[in-house]
Structure 1
Amino acid sequence: MNPLSVGNSQREHRLRLSWPDGREQLLDHAELRRQCPCSQCRALRLRGSPPMVDPRVRVIELNAQGYGLQLVFSDGHQRGIYPWQYLAQLSS
């Protein structure tokens, strides 16, 4: 299920997703960075040492990939593509 709309607030440091079921979801930029689904970040979490993320990190670019979003972060990380289903399951 794809969201109806996606917004990115630099001021609030949150990604806003509006889902077809009426649910609004706000996801913190730093938490999104910690939950990056790329293989490198996943491996770190599986080893019990999640990525070290500066709480000031921001999403500076959104790139739609059809099945999800590639997020580009202010720390230069851009490897993860966040599937819509994965984003829908995250909470901030």
Structure 2
Amino acid sequence: MAFKSQDLSVIAYANGFTLWHYTTPDLAAEVDTSGYFNDAATMLRVGDMILANTDTDSGLSSGILHISANDGGTVDVDNMTAVGGADSD
């Protein structure tokens, strides 16, 4: 699929840093590909972080994406760092 701006929202902003939330049925491997967030290049800054819920239509993966590069047109994020784990209870 593709990035949808309506699924990206600000959670907090302070001192030039923004914490975002993004939800999508896309897989984490798609979302953390260079260029996925290009349509948000004017909003996302290097160092910002995105709390992401991916694969929402079948498996749900949650994690953190770090904006590692933004040249004003191409946005790159590091691979998603997963959060959560197996619930043994």
Q: TM-score range by the shorter chain?
A: under 0.3
Q: Which structure carries more strand by proportion?
A: 2
Q: Which structure carries more helix by proportion?
A: 1
Q: TM (normalized to structure 2)? A: 0.26
